[in-house]
Structure 1
């Protein structure tokens, strides 16, 4: 399970939402071996005045927050981060300087999905990768 939130300046994020979603999803599928139909993305386009970021970033600055069941190895998470930087830059021409990624892991029992605690779900895919 991966829930993904993407934040950016409205005028920059809205035109690339669909393509960015596809890129992010391809990275999660490749790094974590998630099934292709497990895609949960939320976009938060913001006005420039409400989205503060440090000097040295452009209006294409994008924040990606990924919430996961715990269990992936450090190497799998680093692979995801590498793939995201590489594919976002290659496909959307958004510099790695303008992308920040945070991974949040929580135990499966802290999730509620389809009426059950996450640790009681039959997932059909591996979490410990």
Structure 2
């Protein structure tokens, strides 16, 4: 699951572009085929989203849940790719993007009626 939080007034019209950037970066950095993760947008009213100091109305938070196992280098490549692509393709400056990768062991994931450590047919490698 990937969650993107931002102000409704600035995020609503950019959802498709942001989703495309996220899916492209997951594929390039992690080898995850496009749209293999669920992605949700949390469009917040200004009274429910207090921006950090020195950030613009474009400020977004991206939370990415992954199975434990990717190297530090690969996770950094994903984060830096997101900063770069969001700026070049959507117009959101790196200063206005906060990214958190949350990792859980494979057995803590459940999908298609099994736990993550039981899935032997994934189209991508978790441990790299």
Q: TM class by shorter-chain length?
A: over 0.9
Task: Give the aligned partner of residue 36 of structure 1.
Answer: 34
Could you tell me how far 1:124 is from its partner in structure 2? 2.8
Could you tell me how far 1:31 is from its partner in structure 2? 0.3
Show structure 2 runs of 5+ residues with no match: none
* Structure 1, 11-20 or 28-37: larger mean CA deviation: 28-37
Between the aligned partners of 1:113 and 1:39, the Cα distance in structure 2 is: 11
Between the aligned partners of 2:20 and 2:90, the Cα distance in structure 1 is: 11
Aligned CA-pair RMSD: 0.9
Residue by residue, what CA displacement relative to the aligned partner does 1:43-64 show, whole Å, maximum 9, x if unpaired?
1000011001211001110000
> Which runs of 4 or more aligned residues in structure 1 lie more than 3 Å from their structure 2 counterparts after TM superposition?
none
Residue by residue, what CA displacement relative to the aligned partner does 1:69-126 show, whole Å, maximum 9, x if unpaired?
0000000000001100000001111111100000000001001111111111121321
Between the aligned partners of 1:94 and 1:19, the Cα distance in structure 2 is: 11
| 1:8-47 equivalent positions in 2, closer than 5 A | 8-47=6-45
Could you tell me how far 1:37 is from its partner in structure 2? 4.2
Task: Give the aligned partner of residue 128 of structure 1.
Answer: 127
Show structure 1 runs of 5+ residues with no match: none
Task: Give the aligned partner of residue 111 of structure 2.
Answer: 113
Between the aligned partners of 2:40 and 2:106, the Cα distance in structure 1 is: 20
Give the TM-score normalised by structure 1: 0.95
Between Structure 1 and Structure 2, how many residues are aligned?
127
Equivalent residue of 1:35, what SS?
coil
